[in-house]
Structure 1
Amino acid sequence: MATASEFLDRRVDRGTLPLAAGDVFVVLAFLYAGTLRHETVGFPPTADGLVHLAGVAAPFLIGWVLVAVPVGAYSPGAGESAKASVPLVVRSWIGAAVVGLLLRATPLFSGGVEPTFAVVMLVVGAVSLGLFRAVALRLSS
């Protein structure tokens, strides 16, 4: 049976760490854009606004941590080409968004799960992350 260390060695390539940082930035950026759109956080954000943004982002970042590594978003080869990387990040986001939406449906997180919000999260997140990966890998080659 594989140990956790062996699993991580197969699923995480240190060379993809810049992609991981970019992925988290993209998720936070589109969530911040949504809070701006709905005027729940202003620009520049106040301390209260940042706390609100953290509450909005937390379930989706938890989902990202739980899903991205097992799906292979940072596996060897994920940082080599957009052809390999974009499908991995989109599949990871779909799973992460579902986890995030399920968490928002619990009393642990506020916000609820309106169907329109769920669709926007799935589509905007997948497109944003896919575009980021495509551009980042294009620029790095």
Structure 2
Amino acid sequence: MLETERALEVGPRCRESVLVGVVDVGLLAGLILFGQLSHGLNPIAEPIGALETILPFLIGWIIAAPLAGVYAQAALASPWLGARVTAVGWLAAANVGFVLRSSPAFEGGIAWAFPLVMSGFGLIVLVGWRIGYATAAGD
């Protein structure tokens, strides 16, 4: 097999990273939508508002997670390494999201408690899921 063909080959490890990434994004979107519902907002009635709330954090996650090594094979296989890099990735992503959300590019701004709540619940959801996944998928 040529080197180029090998580089383009999608193996099980790549599929695993994509699957985990899709679940990560789904959990983040679900967390934000749950928050909107708990504040009396209806994401179905106001889909643009829901998207404007989700998008800054997804942008942050797409930037920070790979840089933190969240999708590296070692992080996917080890519950504790996965927890550490996911926590670092989420805290970085959340801060990118807070900066974007408080910018004029996105409507809504940030109340003082929002970073605490979002950082805390994001850590619980993402780190909890990743520990569970790595434990279940471990050898």
Could you tell me which amino acid in structure 2 is paired with residue 108 of structure 1?
Answer: A
Please state if 1:50 is matched with 2:51: no
Q: CA deviation at 1:17?
A: 1.8
Task: Give the 4+ runs in structure 1 shifted more than 3 A.
Answer: none
Identify the residue that residue 100 of structure 1 maps to in structure 2. Answer: 97
Identify the residue that residue 35 of structure 2 maps to in structure 1. Answer: 34
| Root mean square deviation, CA, Å | 1.4
1:113-132 maps to which residues of 2 (within 5 A)?
113-132=110-129
Q: CA deviation at 1:51?
A: 2.4
Name the TM-score, length of structure 2 as normaliser: 0.83
Could you tell me which amino acid in structure 1 is paired with residue 21 of structure 2?
Answer: A
For structure 2, which runs of at least 5 residues remain unmatched after alignment? 1-12
Q: Secondary structure at the match of 2:110?
A: coil
Larger relative contact order (CA 8 Å, sep ≥ 6): 1
Structure exhibiting the larger radius of gyration computed from Cα positions: 2
Identify the residue that residue 88 of structure 2 maps to in structure 1. Answer: 91
For structure 1, which runs of at least 5 residues remain unmatched after alignment? 1-12
In the aligned structure 2, how far is the partner of 1:126 from the partner of 1:72?
A: 16
Contact preservation (8 Å) 1:16, 1:78: no
- Identical positions, percent: 27
Contact preservation (8 Å) 2:57, 2:97: yes
Name the TM-score, length of structure 1 as normaliser: 0.82
What does the per-residue CA deviation read over 1:69-110, in whole Å, with 9 as the maximum and x for residues that have no partner? 111111231111211111111110000000000011111001
